[in-house]
Structure 1
Amino acid sequence: MSNNLLIERTGARATVTLNRPDVRNAFDDALIGALTEAFTALGADEAVRVIVLAANGKAFCAGADLTWMRRMADYTHAENLADATALATMLRTIHECPKPVIARVQGDVFAGGMGLVAACDIAASVDTARFCLSEVKLGLIPATIAPYVIAAMGARAAQRFFLTAEVFSAQTAAQIGFVHELSTADELDARITHFTNALLSASPAALTAAKHLLREVGGRPISDALVADTAERIADIRASAEGREGVQSFLNKQKPSWL
């Protein structure tokens, strides 16, 4: 793994850290590939139960690296499409990772960095961070990150911030639901530990199933097919090994194996 992306394991928790502080953790094609590889591997690792996405330096992520953007300026349409597809694949890999992912936002989040935060399941931010979807000021649009950002902040807020490219505060980010919780810089790690411990207390299989539930049920109209689908899901997990163990442990006032 490149020095631009660090991976640390502490028990069942893995921390993936963006390590390009000199360019505000902006990503290029190499970092995008490294992130895709890291989340694919950690998602498949049975020893890992929670992943934290963090960053070193003052900014969490400033979006696209300027050197990379200069190279892209001369790309053909086919080259641009391949480049954008790699970014879209990386975001989807994080979003669909079978393990819960927590964004540890210690600084500013701009442009493509917004997609990284939105692709995570939980986002905790320092109260001094700034956020911005700046693409239209460059003649661009936040296309590949749009599905995740719109889902995270809601369509109405996205209408404003996609079009105005305003910089907004951490307080606003929390109000619109883009981040779940704010803290001071000194308290941020304690909040990350709080979320990590909550996730580690849950059944690993249930967490994966809950992530599938969120992706596949959210936004669908309530119909006979949806009702049947949700009934099938709960029946399946009740009959699963961890489902049976969890219920029996609760009834018998015992700890399940994942604790």
Structure 2
Amino acid sequence: MFNTITLVTDARGVATLTLDRAEKHNAMSGEMIGELTSAATQISADDTIRVVVLTGTGKSFCAGGDLEWMRAQMAADSATRFVEARKLAEMLQALNTLTKPMIGALQGNAFGGGVGMASVCDIAIGVDHLKMGLTETKLGIIPATIGPYVTARMGEAKARRVFMSSRLFGAEEAVELGLLAQAVPADQLAESVEAEVLPYLNCAPGAVAAAKQLARDLGPNIDDSVIDHTINALVDRWQTEEAAEGIGAFFDRRKPRWQA
């Protein structure tokens, strides 16, 4: 059914949603964005699903946006850019508003949009050797559509420590920032995730969904106006000379002009 992800549900109602582009470090292509949105719709409509585990294959959890997809936006007209940016924003919101609890199992690194994917999970656990980073500004772009979820997870003060610098940080700092709840050895990841799954199997599914909705209602407001603002911010950056230079430099395997 899917080409870039897998979705499997066990007899208990635990669905495992896996990013499956290991050869591309699970970078989010246009196809993956569409498939994740479809999977979120499918999960929300399936009353047999109690809990979702979000993970990836290979060495990386998610390397962010696929750079080929981003380069295509450089060549696209403005209307196409808005359509593609909205698809990305709507995918993130679809995952963020799942009626089921979602636990992130980060088996590897998470950069850019991968940090956003971790942030839409209700709890994220990562391996203790992983690296994370909001790396967009090195490419001349910004963490726009993921921004509301990242700042909601970390709080503005902590987000500003890593939101603009593209600095990489390890699992211990990710826990301190609030992106990860735990950092564990790789051979303990499955056990730690299972410990988070099990309590939900003793809870009323409708009550869990209502409690999750209430938590979102009481937290930062991520509504259509906020999402539209992030879409406009992303498209505006895609249209700058810096974005063209940064992404072009990546594909040319050279330093962008601002890099020391």
TM normalised by structure 1 equals 0.83
User: 1 CA distance for matches of 2:211 and 2:49?
Assistant: 17
Alignment of 1:59 onto 2:65: no
Alignment of 1:154 onto 2:161: no
Q: Which amino acid counterpart does residue 201 of structure 1 have in structure 2?
A: N
User: 2 CA distance for matches of 1:115 and 1:134?
Assistant: 12
Q: Which amino acid counterpart does residue 71 of structure 1 have in structure 2?
A: A
Equivalent residue, structure 2, for 1:22: 23
Alignment of 1:69 onto 2:70: yes
Q: 1:3: how far off?
A: 3.0
User: 2 CA distance for matches of 1:218 and 1:67?
Assistant: 35
Aligned residues: 220
Q: Which amino acid counterpart does residue 50 of structure 1 have in structure 2?
A: V
**Structure-2 change in CA distance of 1:85 and 1:55 (3 Å):** same
Q: Which amino acid counterpart does residue 201 of structure 2 have in structure 1?
A: L
Alignment of 1:29-108 (within 5 A): 29-108=30-109
Q: 1:218: how far off?
A: 2.5
User: 2 CA distance for matches of 1:177 and 1:201?
Assistant: 26
User: 1 CA distance for matches of 2:56 and 2:35?
Assistant: 14
Equivalent residue, structure 1, for 2:241: none
Q: Which amino acid counterpart does residue 217 of structure 2 have in structure 1?
A: E
User: 2 CA distance for matches of 1:157 and 1:77?
Assistant: 33
Q: 1:219: how far off?
A: 5.1
Deviation digits for residues 174-223 of structure 1 (CA, Å, limit 9, x no counterpart): 01111111111000000111111011121111110111111112259xxx
Q: 1:65: how far off?
A: 1.2
**Structure-2 change in CA distance of 1:219 and 1:118 (3 Å):** closer
User: 1 CA distance for matches of 2:44 and 2:53?
Assistant: 12
Q: 1:2: how far off?
A: 2.1
Alignment of 1:1-259 (within 5 A): 1-11=1-11, 12-218=13-219
Q: Which amino acid counterpart does residue 77 of structure 1 have in structure 2?
A: S
User: 1 CA distance for matches of 2:104 and 2:63?
Assistant: 15
**Structure-2 change in CA distance of 1:121 and 1:48 (3 Å):** same
RMSD: 1.1
Deviation digits for residues 127-181 of structure 1 (CA, Å, limit 9, x no counterpart): 1110010111111110100000001111112112111110011100001111111
User: 2 CA distance for matches of 1:219 and 1:78?
Assistant: 29
User: 2 CA distance for matches of 1:64 and 1:218?
Assistant: 26
User: 2 CA distance for matches of 1:219 and 1:158?
Assistant: 14
User: 1 CA distance for matches of 2:120 and 2:31?
Assistant: 19
Equivalent residue, structure 1, for 2:234: none
Q: 1:49: how far off?
A: 0.5
**Structure-2 change in CA distance of 1:219 and 1:82 (3 Å):** closer
Q: 1:66: how far off?
A: 2.2
User: 2 CA distance for matches of 1:24 and 1:177?
Assistant: 23
Unaligned runs of 5+ in 1: 221-259
Q: Which moved more, 1:18-27 or 1:155-164?
A: 155-164
Q: Which has the larger radius of gyration?
A: 1
Identity of aligned residues (%): 40
Any idea what SS the aligned residue of 1:163 has? Answer: coil
Q: 1:70: how far off?
A: 2.2
Equivalent residue, structure 1, for 2:258: none
User: 2 CA distance for matches of 1:197 and 1:155?
Assistant: 32
User: 1 CA distance for matches of 2:201 and 2:214?
Assistant: 19
TM normalised by structure 2 equals 0.82
**Structure-2 change in CA distance of 1:28 and 1:121 (3 Å):** same
